[in-house]
A and B are shown apart, each in its own frame.
Chain A
Amino acid sequence: MNNEGLNTVIHAPNRLQICALLNTSAELEFKLIKEQLDVSDSVLSKHLKVLEEAAYITAIKRSEVGRQRTWLSLTTLGRKAFTDHVNALQKIVGSMPSMN
């Protein structure tokens, strides 16, 4: 089976969902991702750290309206890796790629 383009960093279920969420927008807040994935802070932080170490995401802490918020976004490399991963999955399934 041709697994070209598949990426173990992204393929783990929670990290795949994190990348899928981040791919829909420019930046998402930590709390929103946590709620969507229904995981604890520590579990989410662990997955984010793996993605951050691979340079697929960036995390920026900003103080807004008196509270600290952590904003996460996919890097250019991260968007490309996610797109390649989705294309590879679609290739395995047998459909034409829908992302470029």
Chain B
Amino acid sequence: MNEQPESINKLDAGNALKSIVTTQQQVTNNYRSPLIFIIFASLSYALIIFSWGMTEHDNLWALGLYGGAIALFFAMGLNIYTLRIMGIKPIILPKTKTDLKFHLSQAIIFAVIIIASREVKLLGFEFAPHIAALIGGTLFGYLIYKYPFGGIPVKRKNNE
């Protein structure tokens, strides 16, 4: 079923787009996870990156790696459970090509950050894990904040 509306002018189309953007923003703002959770998840992820970069055979940073992974798993599990109680099931597996591109690009970026945190340190730059953890943690927090349910909302354009 895909009937064509009789006629939609520029103003109607603009109002419809505004309605979509506003609706999506409202639900995102109303049901977004608390900031404290976002910070906790970001720090857990940063700890994983940092620990991976710092781990050597004669230190205990591997414990940080395991601790960070457990904390992140706990935080994300709690987040999904809380959203479900509120009536939202987030997108975990991509539903559209856009989602797939979005998830793949995230996976590549995070893989590069994690690998770089260790490899660049081995090349002699001592602060590589620090910088990688900062970038990775911040990016992870931004993504949870911006896309709390996993879906990509419609963007508002300047001329709408």
Q: A residues bordering B, Cβ < 8 Å?
A: 1, 3-4, 6-9, 11, 13, 16-17, 20-21, 23-29, 31-32, 36, 53-55, 69, 71, 73-74, 76, 79-81, 83, 86, 89-90, 92-96, 98-100
- 20 A-B pairs (CB sep. < 8 Å): A1-B8, A3-B8, A6-B8, A8-B5, A25-B88, A28-B88, A29-B88, A31-B87, A53-B1, A74-B95, A79-B96, A80-B96, A83-B96, A86-B17, A90-B17, A92-B10, A93-B157, A95-B158, A98-B155, A98-B157
Q: Give the contacting residue for A3; candidates B7, B16, B90, B149; CB below 8 A.
A: B7
A92 and B13: CB pair below 8 A?
yes
Encoded as 1 (CB less than 8 Å from any A CB) or 0, chain B from 1 to 41 comes to 11111011110011011011001101110110000000000
- Contacts A79-B95, A81-B2, A93-B13 given; does A25 touch B8 at CB 8 Å: no
CA distance A31 to B88 in the complex (A): 10
Residues 140-160 of chain B: 1 if any A CB is under 8 Å from the residue's CB, otherwise 0?
A: 000000000111111101111
Chain B interface SS verdict (over half): loop
Count A/B pairs, Cβ under 8 Å. 134
Chain B residue at minimal CB-CB distance from A71: B89
| Contact yes or no, A20 B157, CB < 8 A | no
Question: A20: which B residues are within 8 A, CB to CB?
Answer: 19-20, 23-24, 154
Residues of A within 8 Å of B122, CB to CB, are none
B57 located at the interface, meaning its Cβ lies under 8 Å from any Cβ of chain A in the complex: no
In the assembled complex, which residues on chain A have CB atoms less than 8 Å from the CB atom of B151?
23-25
What chain A residues lie within 8 Å of B7 (beta carbons)? 1, 3
Residues of B contacting A54 in the complex (Cβ-Cβ under 8 angstroms): 1
Min distance, Cβ B6 to any Cβ of chain A, angstroms: 8
Decide if B16 touches A11 in the complex (CB within 8 Å). yes
Of B7, B95, B97, the most chain A CB neighbours within 10 A belong to: B95
Is the Cβ of A99 less than 8 Å from the Cβ of B154? yes
Nearest B residue to A23 by beta-carbon distance? Answer: B151
B159 touches A25 (CB 8 A): no
